Amino acid sequence: MNNTDFEDITGNFSVSKLKFLKGCITQNEDGMYALFLPIAKFILDAETVETSILLDFIELPETLSWYIGKSVVFPVNPVEGYIDGSIYLKNAHSPVDVTELRFISLENDILTIEISMQFDFEFERIGFKNESLKEIFVLEKK
């Protein structure tokens, strides 16, 4: 594979240009959830980028099926109860704050969820403006 195999989004980078692949949701022994949101490879500054969004420490006290048809609002870092999230771009971890999870469906261990996120690219000064994104994700429950 070479750089022509992937979309070059260098010119006018935006999180809306990211193409998300099927991710997963896991639960640790403390009952906290994590979401792994892989992103299809793309070109940025003549480099092939392979990255993802990782969202950790998601507190959902009820079973996932209980949340179907509901939304849960979360505070942003550093307010207690925030979801710890980040994306690795341009050699920096940029914070990703999740403000809302809207649970759409859960069938055969496949969760469909809408996530509202705020990307803080200015935190690490990587040359991009902060952006918001609301996207529907399909996650495999593992």
Instruction: Walk along the chain (142 residues) and give the pLDDT tens digit of each residue.
Output: 555 689 999 988 999 999 999 999 999 999 999 999 999 999 999 999 999 999 999 999 999 999 999 999 999 999 999 999 999 999 999 999 999 999 999 999 999 999 999 999 999 999 999 999 999 999 999 9
Residue 67 per-residue DSSP state: H
Per-residue confidence (pLDDT) for residue 3, from 0 to 100? 55
So where are the chain's domains? 3-141
pLDDT of residue 43: 95
Give percent helix, percent strand, percent coil of the chain, each to the nearest 5. Answer: 5, 50, 40
